[in-house]
Amino acid sequence: MAERVELVRNLETVAKRIRRNIIESVGVGVAGHIGGSFSSADMVAALYFHKMRYSPTDLGRPDRDRFILSKGHVAILQYAALVEAGIVDRKELKKTKTIGSCLQGHPDVMKTPGIEAGTGSLGQGLSIGLGMALAQRLDGQDAKTYVLMGDGELAEGQIWEAAMAAANFKVSNLVGIVDRNRLQATGRITERFNTNPLNAKWKAFGWEVIEVEDGNDMPQLLEALEKADKAETGPTVIIMDTVKGKGLSFAENVVGFHNGMLTQEQYDLAMAELA
């Protein structure tokens, strides 16, 4: 029990550092996808610093677990984690989205170490992840592929083509993760393109569904990932209810911070809250 408590505490600390890295990456007066990065930060901390098997010093290790950020517009979230893992130099954060930087607006497998696929054109990540998971199985690797999607992204048809194929091929080493923060760029999901009910849809497509009541609660996330480890007959999706902008007092559930700019005052407040 004590070890579990310590694990949760450490991961919560990492998640806070990831959020701080995100703010440092965005800076002042430049648009950045803070909201959806913050809502998924806890899950990304759990994956990179507990669940996934990979080596920061051997990124091409064949039997590594893979992470695909399908909602690639929140690339700063993955960059923040890669910095904490020691894969990307911390000094690169302040160069994000500048010419010549290894940290561009969307993940670029050719520029950034630790990126498994170029994403950002929404809806494609699950197909990419499915291909990787099938390759892992063909190669006899005991490894998983995790794909993080946004709930707004689920309006893209390719997601559901991949979902059907994954169930058809019984790809038990593929784990989809849906960040259900209920907001997209221009408003609430229910008012723009209602993709609900998510649980029933994924079940109808043949997936095992794990719902997380509080997707910003580390113990619940760890429990969900452990349940996903037990999948034997097909793919699993974790649907986590999160708060967009979680951890930033002035950004929580504010649609304007889907891709918003920080004033100097907001930047200073954010760094203070995440200290």
pLDDT digits (tens, 9 = 90+) for 226-260: 999 999 999 999 999 999 999 999 999 999 999 99
Residue 76: the pLDDT is 98
In this predicted model, what pLDDT tens digit does every residue of 155-213 receive, in sequence order? Answer: 999 999 999 999 999 999 999 999 999 999 999 999 999 999 999 999 999 999 999 99
Residue 52: the pLDDT is 98
What span, in angstroms and rounded, lies between the C-alpha atoms of 64 and 57? 12
- In the chain, the percentage of residues whose pLDDT exceeds 70 is 100
pLDDT at 1 > cutoff 90: no
Q: What is the mean pLDDT of residues 2-13?
A: 97
Which pTM value belongs to this model? 0.98
Residue 146: the pLDDT is 99
Per the prediction, the chain carries an average pLDDT of: 97
- In the chain, the percentage of residues whose pLDDT exceeds 90 is 99
Look up residue 173 and give its two tokens.
């080493």
User: How big is the CA angle at 67 (ends 66 and 71), to the nearest 5 degrees?
Assistant: 150
What domain range is 129 assigned to?
2-273
Percent of residues in the chain assigned helix, strand, coil, to nearest 5:
45, 10, 40
User: Nearest Cα to 106, choosing from 114, 246, 115?
Assistant: 115
Domain of 62, CATH number, reads 3.40.50.970
pLDDT at 32 > cutoff 90: yes
Residue 233: the pLDDT is 95
What span, in angstroms and rounded, lies between the C-alpha atoms of 108 and 265? 32
Residue 42: the pLDDT is 98
Please count the structural domains in the chain. Answer: 1
User: How big is the CA angle at 243 (ends 156 and 1), to the nearest 5 degrees?
Assistant: 115
In this predicted model, what pLDDT tens digit does every residue of 77-117 receive, in sequence order? Answer: 999 999 999 999 999 999 999 999 999 999 999 999 999 99
